[in-house]
Amino acid sequence: MAQALRRSKLSAHRGLVHGGGLSLARLAPPLTLVVLVGPLLFGLAGTLLPAFGYLPALGGTTFTTRHFETLASTPGIVRSVLTSILAGVVATFLSLAVIAGFIAGHLDSPIFARMRQLISPLLAVPHAAAAFGLAFLIAPSGFLMRLVSPWLTGLDRPPDLLIVNDPMALTMVAGLVVKEIPFLFLVALAALPQLRHGDMMRLGRSLGYGRVASFAYLVWQPLYRQIRLAVFAVVAYATSVVDVALILGPHLPPTLPVRLIEWMNDPEIAMRYLASAGAILQLGATLAALLIWLLIERVASLVTGFLRGRGRRLRRDGAVRGFALAFMALSALVVFGGIAVLALWSFAGLWQFPDALPRDFTARTWTSVLQRISGPLITTFWVGLISTAIAVVLTILCLEREYETGRGRGQRSLALIYLPLIVPQISFIFGLQILAISFGIDAGGASLVLAHLVFVLPYVFLSLSDPWRSHDPRYDQIAAGLGLSRWRALLRVRLPILLRAILTAAAVGFAVSVGQYLPTVLIGAGRLETVTTEAVALAAGGNRRVIGVYAFLQTLLPFLAFAIATGLPGLLFRNRRGLRV
Amino acid sequence: MTDTSGLKLTAVAISLAGRELIALDTRVACGEVLTVMGPSGSGKSTLLAYIGGFLDPVFSARGSVQVDGQDMTTLAAEERHAGILFQDPLLFPHLDVADNIALAIPETNGSRRDRRRMALLALSAAGLDGYGDRDPHTLSGGEKARVALQRVLMSKPRLLLLDEPFSKLDAGLRAQMRTLVFSTARAAGLPVVLVTHDEADAVAAGGAIHRVGDDL
């Protein structure tokens, strides 16, 4: 009863009714649904039909399972699939283990606050740039080997080792882990405040449980329930990733998504059938990885339940805490160190193997690359800006509608928002490309913006919804009481107060757009190129100086966006202490 | 001819999941205060939400609200001109003190500069000369409360809704703000609905008292 009343008291201060509000906001939720789910459904249909032989544009008018048979007899296909599945599951498990151990062992400590500050810049680094950075660090001729040669290793030539592109995909897993750690950490941080974790941890420790045990028994379950969809998204992403796999993944045979993109780009147009069948196989592979993940969830919960049931205090958890901290710091170090080495290469003159640093520096690579890159750079900018702008407006209108009606904050709508992140990109974007070709739609800017929007929108929504929902609704009620129309209240009161959160969400969206590889390659069809597609295309060539410039530029754009998002509100509201964070 | 001035609540009943929280049928004359008293969580704030036009859809409400003979029940919140004061002054943190008030002045009142000048005059009238350019965050609790009161008055409200507006002020300031708010409302001839759990508020208000949630 008391709880129901408290709820009623809270909700008495929420929501506007009586036909007030914005009529435009009424359109936003259905429009958002169309943007998120439409491409998914059409894309999957566009992949599924050719997979079964139906593609009238290429003369396929009868249904057949022939292409799946061809797929099954493709050499090394089983290994490709298994590598994808395992790499995805292992990368997710490691990332989650590190952030769980870190949160358990270091919650509310100074080092925790320090890591929290590093999140935005870590997230801003595109996957491809982080992958290049890792490769430049750990390759046989990479920076780390140079640091220890020849005085420690005695080598004056790079050792003949297959570290990058290793057949076990270990390097690829490492590349995924360093980028998924900040993502999962961010999602967990957003969920933590609702869990009264401080009280829970104190309670556990007062009962004699160690930090990690208190966390595992009392905080982890509700926390995991809140971040579960994000974890699924990581599983799906890691099993179907293309750009990181192209840069770091195995070659013989490559992972399934890399083979798919080769078939999709094959000049032999009939390969589209095989590629479609493969894209459906990828859907199955990701599903299999998710099923394995559900199994891991079960086992983990059984083990925790068993330990909790036995009342195991696990007070000597120093090793777990230490390892988690070490890996957390290492992942940040790898990303930032990698970027530094990329920058170093981009300015390097002569840099022979055992030398730790280049003999001399030159801006020659930059000047020659900048001449070629202006086109892709401009494309990157406007595709990112337009898709982000649309995503921000749609998100604001959806959240406004949610505020007006009090509906839409449930698990169901959250699942819809995560849907494009959980279905493998490659399985439906390829279908969209086939549909576009079938209907004679040219690869244009509008289609590319829409393709990016499918992935930009969920991230913008996820990043803006929490600050929006926790904004005090009494400000809006005061504004209404003062006679301000809903539009004016939004423009003059709510949006300025939430400016920082809105700009941060926009920066996240822009970073997501800049980092998009697969949709850009498939929908841009080689005519619309961005910094990212150009950078990844250089992976096979191995010109480190040029790669350095591209990957560094690719990192610079999101960084600029985040710098504006932090700097601009500080400048505009420099005399407004109530808006400081 | 019957007198329709003031606030008239006709057979108002608000319920949550079939349980009635509050029911009343009364008239508040201009310049008078209706005090609604009840323990926290008794649902008394829902009455203000209902009159103001932002009752959450989970509640169901019956009855009608009239101000000076005009039916408000179907109007949107921003068309009701029901000025609200909460226990927090809730000055808009992104605007300076004068713009907080200028934003409240109806758009029909001259240019942007005129409205700013009116806001500065209102500040002087409240003894806050020279506060126009200040960051609201730097004001004391009492100063913020006075700005909030000026802001709501400058919006030309037709009634005032007070949601425990004095509960966060310390004792000396509380008495002072009570006198200021009630005398201002009386001078402006505004009907006032005050929600509180503090008997002293009710005594100072001096009007009718409606009690809710005694059975809880």
Q: Is the dihedral of CA A538, A540, A541, A546 positive or negative?
A: positive
Polymer length of chain A: 581
Can you give the pLDDT at residue B214? 59
Can you give the pLDDT at residue A17? 42
- Give the burial string for A285-314 (b: 16+ CB within 10 Å, else e): bbebbbebbeeeeeebeeeeeeeeeeeebe
Can you give the pLDDT at residue A526? 80
Can you give the pLDDT at residue B57? 83
Contact assignment for B84 to A477 by CB distance below 8 Å: yes
Contact assignment for B16 to A8 by CB distance below 8 Å: yes
Could you say which of A11, A480, A492 has the minimum Cβ distance to residue B53? Answer: A480
The secondary structure of residue A539, as a DSSP letter, is T
Cβ neighbours of residue B213 closer than 8 Å, sequence gap 6 or more = B21, B22, B38, B39, B41, B42, B43, B44
Residues 172-211 of B with CB under 8 A from A: none
Q: With an 8 Å Cβ cutoff, is A498 touching chain B? A: no
CB pairs under 8 A between A and B: 144
pLDDT in tens, A452-496: 999 999 999 999 998 999 899 999 999 999 999 989 999 999 999
Contact assignment for A13 to B49 by CB distance below 8 Å: yes
Instruction: Tally Cβ neighbours within 10 Å of residue B74.
Output: 11
Can you give the pLDDT at residue A23? 77
Model's pTM, two decimal places?
Answer: 0.90
CB B47 within 8 A of CB B204: no
B1 to chain A nearest CA, in Å? 31
pLDDT tens, per residue, chain B with 216 residues: 467 889 999 999 999 888 888 999 999 999 999 999 988 777 888 999 999 998 888 899 999 999 999 999 989 999 999 999 999 999 999 999 999 999 999 988 788 899 999 999 999 999 999 999 999 999 999 999 999 999 999 999 999 999 999 998 998 899 999 999 999 999 999 999 999 988 899 999 988 999 887 544
Q: Which residues of A touch B19 (CB under 8 A)?
A: none
* Interface test mutation site (partner B, options A477, A491, A573, max chain B beta carbons within 10 A): A477
Q: What is the ipTM of this complex?
A: 0.92
Could you say which of A4, A475, A484 has the minimum Cβ distance to residue B90? Answer: A475
- List the one residue out of B216, B215, B211, B190 whose CA is nearest residue B33: B190
Q: Which residues of B touch A11 (CB under 8 A)?
A: 56, 58
Can you give the pLDDT at residue A575? 86
User: Which chain A residue shows the shortest CA-CA distance from B93?
Assistant: A578
CB A494 within 8 A of CB A428: no
Q: Is the dihedral of CA A321, A322, A328, A329 positive or negative?
A: positive
Q: With an 8 Å Cβ cutoff, is A482 touching chain B? A: yes
* Interface test mutation site (partner B, options A14, A478, A485, A494, max chain B beta carbons within 10 A): A478
Residues 63-102 of B with CB under 8 A from A: 74-84, 86, 88, 90-96
B28 bridge partner residues:
B7
Q: Which residues of chain A carry a pLDDT beneath 70?
A: 1-21, 408, 581
Contact assignment for B83 to A20 by CB distance below 8 Å: no
Q: With an 8 Å Cβ cutoff, is B55 touching chain A? A: yes
Can you give the pLDDT at residue A230? 95
Can you give the pLDDT at residue A185? 95
Can you give the pLDDT at residue A198? 86
Determine the Cα–Cα distance for residues B89 and B92; give it in Å rounded to an integer.
9
